[in-house]
């Protein structure tokens, strides 16, 4: 019998990669998957990211010890509302959304007593950073290897549930550490949301240009990579932008000021100044990529991989709050 049941909602690149990382011989979990797209579910199951899939969202979650939300941001609220009444007491819900404060509020509204919520943010293995393949086809067992995982437990989250989230991150190959949700949302807006908004700001005018039919034949990898954030979807980005309005406006103002400076430098033919400005950004990018590749953020000891006794042993301690009808 499997030690624990883990349900992954959303089997795209992120969800399928989580499943692959959990489906190793030394780990005895039953991993159940659910995705609105039946073809995506089939691919995830075929590649071994999940043991089985369920087309019914509630059936996929009702016996889960851990539920992982790996879905677009605009689907999170309704999903929490739907699954909340069906989750067994002691279940730990892990959410991968790019914003944490709104999701924590929804979790408090829709998840009942005895359900434990932890927001997580999984960093990407630098070796996979430039791989833009999407869906299950882009999934990798090492997608999160040697990367940070930010943990943001709800205020009422039990210590045992927090420990479960830490162990979960470690099993994926990531290094867990705690972050304030307010601080995280401000930073996440910059690195997760702004690339998509700025991509839309440039890609829209290009594709609406009368010369696009000719330009598209000359398109390069640069344009493909630049526009890749748009695959997150308009509804998800729009919802996140509105809910993080204050942070978005700050970063948009900063980007607009930078663009105005570049415009002035081009207009005034200030080649040296423009070169210096681009060079500063290039240098900052190179330093970032080197640090990322070396995982050189700060000195910290890597947690040990949890054993069977450590991982869900503690979790089952507080899972005893299940309804009597569940104990058979």
Q: Where are the domains of the chain?
A: 4-179+302-326, 183-294
* Lowest-confidence segment of 131-140, 175-184, 234-243 by average pLDDT: 131-140
> pLDDT at residue 175 above 50?
yes
Provide the pLDDT for residue 155: 92
Mean residue pLDDT across the chain: 86
pLDDT at 52 over 80: yes
Instruction: Judge whether residue 211 has pLDDT over 80.
Output: yes
Q: If you classify domain 4-179+302-326 with CATH, what class do you get?
A: alpha beta
113-124 burial string, b = 16+ CB within 10 Å, else e? ebbbbbbbbbbb
Average pLDDT of the segment spanning 192-199:
93
How far apart, in Å, do the first and last CA atoms of the chain sit?
Answer: 15
Residue among 58, 64, 68, 66 at smallest CA distance from 11? 68
Contact 139, 16 (CB under 8 A): yes
Q: Which residue has the higher pLDDT, 110 or 311?
A: 110
Q: What are phi and psi of 313, to 5 degrees?
A: -60, -45
302 falls in which pLDDT band (50, 70, 90)?
very low
What was the pLDDT predicted at 125?
Answer: 83
Its CATH architecture, for the domain 183-294, is Orthogonal Bundle (1.10)
Instruction: Give the C-alpha separation, 254 to 71, whole Å.
Output: 30
Confidence of residue 301 (pLDDT cuts 50, 70, 90): very low
Position 298 scores a pLDDT of: 59
Pairing of strands 66-69, 29-34: unpaired
Mean pLDDT value of segment 190-211: 92
Q: Would you state the pLDDT for residue 130? A: 66
Residue with the larger pLDDT of the pair 298 and 176: 176
pLDDT at 213 over 90: no
| Per-residue pLDDT at 3 exceeds 80 | no
Arithmetic mean of pLDDT, 46-55: 93
Residue with the larger pLDDT of the pair 164 and 328: 164
Q: How far is CA 190 from CA 252, 261, 322, in A?
A: 9, 20, 41
Q: pLDDT-derived band of residue 276, with 50, 70 and 90 as boundaries?
A: very high
* For residue 28, pLDDT beyond 60: yes
Strands (E), 224-296: none
90 Rama class: left (phi>0) / alpha (psi -120 to 50) / beta = left
In 3D space, the residue among 126, 163, 166, 132 whose CA is nearest the CA of residue 149 turns out to be 166
| pLDDT grade for 128, boundaries at 50, 70 and 90 | confident
Q: Kindly tell me if the per-residue pLDDT of 217 is higher than 80.
A: yes
pLDDT: which is higher, 308 or 96 = 96
pLDDT at 183 over 60: yes
Beta-carbon-side half-sphere exposure of residue 113 (alpha carbons within 13 Å): 2
């Amino acid at each position: 019998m499997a030690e624990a049941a883990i349900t992954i909602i959303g089997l795209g690149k992120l969800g399928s990669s989580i499943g692959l990382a959990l489906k190793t011989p030394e780990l005895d979990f039953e991993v159940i998957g659910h995705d609105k797209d039946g073809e995506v579910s089939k691919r995830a199951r075929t590649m071994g990211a999940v043991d089985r899939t369920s087309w019914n969202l509630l059936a996929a979650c009702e016996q889960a010890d851990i539920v992982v939300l790996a879905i677009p941001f605009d689907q999170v609220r309704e999903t929490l509302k739907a699954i909340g009444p069906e989750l067994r007491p002691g279940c730990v819900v892990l959410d991968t959304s790019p914003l944490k404060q709104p999701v924590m509020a929804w979790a408090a509204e829709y998840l009942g007593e005895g359900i434990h919520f932890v927001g997580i943010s999984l960093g990407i293995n630098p070796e996979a950073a430039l791989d833009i393949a999407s869906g299950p086809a882009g999934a990798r067992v090492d997608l999160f290897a040697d990367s940070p995982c930010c943990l943001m437990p709800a205020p009422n989250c039990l210590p045992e549930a927090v420990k479960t989230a830490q162990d979960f991150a470690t099993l994926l190959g990531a290094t867990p550490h705690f972050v304030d949700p307010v601080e995280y949302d401000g930073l996440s807006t910059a690195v997760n949301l702004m690339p998509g908004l700025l991509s839309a700001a440039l890609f829209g005018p290009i594709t609406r240009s009368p010369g696009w039919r000719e330009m598209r034949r000359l398109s390069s990898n640069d344009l493909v990579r630049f526009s890749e954030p748009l695959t997150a979807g308009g509804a998800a980005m729009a919802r996140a932008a509105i809910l993080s309005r204050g942070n978005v406006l700050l970063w948009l103002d900063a980007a607009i000021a930078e663009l105005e400076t570049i415009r002035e430098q081009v207009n005034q033919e200030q080649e040296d100044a423009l070169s210096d400005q681009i060079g500063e950004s290039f240098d900052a990018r190179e330093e970032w990529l080197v640090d990322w590749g070396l995982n050189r953020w700060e000195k910290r000891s890597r947690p040990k991989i949890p054993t069977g006794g450590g991982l869900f042993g503690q979790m089952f301690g507080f899972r005893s709050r299940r309804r009597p009808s569940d104990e058979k």
